[in-house]
Structure 1
């Protein structure tokens, strides 16, 4: 059983340019994500000929793997005008026991994870605002697969994630969480079940993410939760499933290396 988190008081991100509340927008269908935001010409071609209606974009974080020469406010507006729905991802510090090769950058400290989560949550809010993402947009924390130990490493991830989520909530955004079904998602599901049994309050009050994006490369276009999520956990348009990774596709004469995702979840509010 995972230890109950001790949660200190939280600092809020700057209140400048607070996004206007419009309410969550939910997308149900196919999405792809790729390391660097693709050219608008590719998005135009894929919009006409691919099965996808949503796109994952990496908006920031110390461990964001690729440069983003195209990604700015104008890009977000133009992609949205084409009909694309956007899934913003933030790649912050990774688990102390992260699986190789993702452990080369910043890692969560066993004792500093809460503060790291606060600081990087504030950075995620700034990044979302800079791109013009409105209130109630989700920001998905990308926590790559790690060796789940139900002990020090798992607890460090949960402290970081709950601190990050609370700061993102305080900035007016929904907190999402991406990870492997067998590590980060399994740890969050265990914590959620523990707190539900203890009759604690809502996800936003206790620091749990609002939306879960689980990676399970089983080629199943489904958000049924695999075996990582219980039937009632993050149900009701709050799940995504990355079911195929590192796959090259060509649509409209333009090819790209992508991951495939099934989506029944909130997307960015733009405009």
Structure 2
């Protein structure tokens, strides 16, 4: 994998591949090659030395060694690149205001985003439920995600001199709860959209002025949340609320299967539904509170499409039942996103066996902007308790800003 750069950098990569540098092995090789190149002069803010097995990238005084098969993305050169954690990649720089993200990306694997930072000292936190490390160190902020290979990320961070063993544990370790948004922040009747990553301010302003949308779905967390959320902060939400936007917070927890639907990097699947559903609710509530979504907010667990029946249906229902019960104990309301042919079918057929979510967010891409659907009895979720995702994976442009979205009709109090 060649790193896009200047001729000096290209010589460094060539040197790393030359036979005389291979004799020391992949790890030693990258260090020797780096030393040779640094002696020739400064290479710039982000430089790469590559071997057959690994690539070592220097960024703002820190070095990160990752598998050579990983994609390396310079966000300063490509600010619209989508920062995705469902594929092996190393992202360097500040994500742009208008990332080109697919609306339906889902999944989680080993990946890193390294952004410029200003603080001194080092702090490391880990959210095991979401498979994420967050590091602040001299001049950088690192978001490191993992799916099945937590030790790979620990190894990368450890070799970069970042003390993962001393990580604070917890969904929002070190992050206080934000002041609660007004109670109507998640109440809305009308057109909405959801995008994989929260758009930047200029994009939100353009769509507010030039579209019929009034609500936006934001992905607040979960082990299978694929896209980075660099814009999604308590401050961002308060600004959008003041500008007239309303919200539906989505949580991408464990999925019915590990290889189905839109999971690009493979999904963390439901294996032990009751404790996993409870854990997801605990994490969702803490992520919501850190963003300013107060008690009473509906938090929608995203369950992608599956084939209902047998043990799979039992797992999904047990997971969602535990999620809903736990959210209720924490003072939040439960929402569930799913397809009319899978999750909705199972919930309707088993309504007496489970604690139903308070609001249903159902997907049927029929182009009908209505919350009525033949799969849902008129008596269920009848009191402003529905969202219909009626178009998906579409690209729209408003105010000269293009975003890949799913389109929704909301009727939620």
Q: Does the pair score TM above 0.5? A: yes
Whether the aligned pair in 1 keeps the contact of 2:259 and 2:267 (CA below 8 Å) is no
| Structure 1 residues 58-137: aligned runs within 5 Å | 58-96=219-257, 99-102=260-263, 104-109=266-271, 112-137=272-297
Whether the aligned pair in 2 keeps the contact of 1:54 and 1:87 (CA below 8 Å) is yes
Q: Determine the C-alpha separation between the residues in 2 that align with 1:101 and 1:176.
A: 21
| Structure 1 residues 195-206: aligned runs within 5 Å | 195=353
Is 1:215 equivalent to 2:363 in the alignment?
Answer: yes
Is 1:255 equivalent to 2:255 in the alignment?
Answer: no
Q: What CA RMSD, in Å, does the superposition of the two structures yield over aligned residues?
A: 2.2
Q: Determine the C-alpha separation between the residues in 2 that align with 1:19 and 1:78.
A: 13
Q: Determine the C-alpha separation between the residues in 2 that align with 1:171 and 1:22.
A: 18
Structure 1 runs not aligned, ≥5 long: 1-12, 196-205, 267-271
Q: Determine the C-alpha separation between the residues in 2 that align with 1:248 and 1:17.
A: 34
Matched with 1:42 is 203
Q: Determine the C-alpha separation between the residues in 2 that align with 1:43 and 1:171.
A: 31
Q: Secondary structure, in 3 states, of the residue corresponding to 2:412?
A: strand
Q: Determine the C-alpha separation between the residues in 2 that align with 1:97 and 1:51.
A: 36
Q: Secondary structure, in 3 states, of the residue corresponding to 2:350?
A: helix
Q: Secondary structure, in 3 states, of the residue corresponding to 1:164?
A: helix
Whether the aligned pair in 2 keeps the contact of 1:102 and 1:144 (CA below 8 Å) is no
Q: Cα gap change, 1:22/1:152 in structure 2, threshold over 3 Å: closer, same or farther?
A: same
Q: Determine the C-alpha separation between the residues in 2 that align with 1:163 and 1:18.
A: 26
Q: Secondary structure, in 3 states, of the residue corresponding to 2:257?
A: coil
Q: Determine the C-alpha separation between the residues in 1 that align with 2:262 and 2:211.
A: 31
Which one scores higher on RCO, CA 8 angstroms, separation ≥ 6?
1
Whether the aligned pair in 1 keeps the contact of 2:178 and 2:292 (CA below 8 Å) is no
Q: Cα gap change, 1:18/1:136 in structure 2, threshold over 3 Å: closer, same or farther?
A: farther
Which of the residues 11, 26, 35 maps onto 2:187? 26
Q: Determine the C-alpha separation between the residues in 2 that align with 1:245 and 1:73.
A: 27
Whether the aligned pair in 2 keeps the contact of 1:97 and 1:146 (CA below 8 Å) is no
Matched with 1:183 is 342
Shift of residue 265 of structure 1? 1.0
When normalised by structure 2's length, the TM-score is 0.55
When normalised by structure 1's length, the TM-score is 0.82
Give per-residue Cα distances to partners, 1:7-58, cap 9 Å, x unaligned.
xxxxxx99x9598797665310000000000011111111111000000000
Q: Secondary structure, in 3 states, of the residue corresponding to 1:102?
A: coil
Q: Cα gap change, 1:77/1:107 in structure 2, threshold over 3 Å: closer, same or farther?
A: same
Q: Determine the C-alpha separation between the residues in 2 that align with 1:51 and 1:21.
A: 23
The aligned length equals 238
Q: Cα gap change, 1:19/1:156 in structure 2, threshold over 3 Å: closer, same or farther?
A: farther
Whether the aligned pair in 2 keeps the contact of 1:22 and 1:135 (CA below 8 Å) is no
Moved over 4 A (4+): 16-25
Shift of residue 97 of structure 1? 7.4
Q: Determine the C-alpha separation between the residues in 2 that align with 1:17 and 1:262.
A: 30
Give per-residue Cα distances to partners, 1:115-140, cap 9 Å, x unaligned.
10011110000100010112211100
Q: Determine the C-alpha separation between the residues in 2 that align with 1:168 and 1:18.
A: 19
Whether the aligned pair in 1 keeps the contact of 2:181 and 2:293 (CA below 8 Å) is no
